[in-house]
Amino acid sequence: MNIFASKRVQSIGAYAFAEVDKQVGILREKGITPIDFGVGDPTNPTPSFIIEALHEGAIKRASSGYPSYAGAPEFRKAAAAWFERRFGVRLDPRTEITASIGSKEAVFNFHEGFIDPGDVVIIPSPGYPPYTRGTLFAEGRPYYVPLTEKNGFLPDLDAIPKDVLVKAKSMWINYPNSPSGRIAPPEFFKRAVEFGRKHEIIIASDEAYTEIYFKEKPHSILEFGREGVVVFQSMSKRSAMTCYRVGFVAGDKRIIELFKKVKMNIDSGTATFIQDAAIAALSDEKHVDEMRAEYTVKRNIMVEAFKAAGLPDCAPEATIYIWQKCPKGISSVDFAKSLLAPEIAMVTTPGAWLGDRMADGSNPGEGYVRLALVPTIEETKKAAERIRRMKF
């Protein structure tokens, strides 16, 4: 029999980070152990007190059955308490917060509750692939807004055509931003909230990186409005809990109610003992401070190395990424390939893989490579020495 992929699967192409993994595998087959800055998966172990809470929770929950789709009441209360401490925003844990299986599941499936075939979703480019993938699976139409150095890596809301705004149902924003590492000012969040209300567009704010910053504390959009606004948070980067798959979605209770309905029919709840571990993580800031300090060291090492090699200073304000400009005249794919040479053996992500083709044929991700600051400090120092020996 013939096996054919559905139109939805055919529409999504390759997943960028799967391509990075493929390049790592090729190097290893050659007997080369690369220094992997490709995928943003923290390599630091999850702090021991979180693991202890996980263990205790597993014993306590030994016969507790299926987890709640919306999350255990105590987890939602802990998320609400953390949000109030961190951002000064008071949320109702019953109606304005729901647990998620990490951000990716929530971001991807969110569209199923709000997008009908032909509806438009406004998406930043470059950006997180599930914004687009989720839109396509819901049979929506992506409309990409470029994030460039010229516009401060902020979407130009005034440049979005009126015919797009009429059909748009939601718009994604992501600050601190992956991959650019930029923080959005309060004025942008105020404008985004007003923009959403004016055009009746849901503003979906991916805030997975709010806790990894280097000077200025990032804001949450919920500090500036709740009507028509929804936020996606994750424990993955804040607490090195990528394996745990736990986060939460918060905001306008009408949006949360519909998203809960989507979750109930598409996936399952996060294991309750994992939520117990997340409660412990949310109650502590010391481990987050320590991780921020380590990311700062690695950021500074790599930024100085690229500068010494003759490339522009691309120091990020936040996130675990460096969005490094390529040498003039070299594409992002070619530059990433040059960094894979055995004498350097560094894995990075070409910016073109994270960007999307605009109507004029340009790709706003072109001209950059993304480095995830996940190798150890010692590995980062080795990579920096190799970079310094290159001259551009």
**pLDDT (average), residues 295-319:** 97
DSSP character string of 300-352: HHHHHHHHHTT------SBSSEEEEEPPTT--HHHHHHHHTSTTT-EE-EEHH
Report pLDDT digits (tens) over 178-211: 999 999 999 999 999 999 999 999 999 999 999 9
Confidence band for 134, pLDDT divided at 50, 70 and 90: very high
Residue entry with tokens 């990528």: 242
What pLDDT is recorded for position 20? 63
What pLDDT is recorded for position 96? 98
Distance in angstroms (rounded) separating the CA atoms of residues 298 and 306: 13
This prediction's pTM:
0.93
User: 62-90: b or e for each residue (b if 16 or more CB lie within 10 Å)?
Assistant: eeeeebbbbbbeebbbbbbbbbeebbebe
**pLDDT (average), residues 376-392:** 93
What pLDDT is recorded for position 12? 66
Report pLDDT digits (tens) over 316-341: 999 999 999 999 999 999 999 899 88
Res. 82: pLDDT tops 90: yes
Res. 15: pLDDT tops 80: no
Report pLDDT digits (tens) over 233-262: 999 999 999 999 999 999 999 999 999 999
What pLDDT is recorded for position 337? 87
**pLDDT (average), residues 211-219:** 96
Neighbours of 330 (CB within 10 A): 15
What pLDDT is recorded for position 1? 78
Distance in angstroms (rounded) separating the CA atoms of residues 57 and 274: 7
**Half-sphere exposure (CA, 13 Å, Cβ side) for 104?**
11
User: Of 219, 217, 231, nearest to 173 (Cα)?
Assistant: 231
**pLDDT (average), residues 15-44:** 78
Res. 16: pLDDT tops 60: no
Res. 392: pLDDT tops 90: no
What pLDDT is recorded for position 18? 65
Percent of the chain with pLDDT over 90: 83
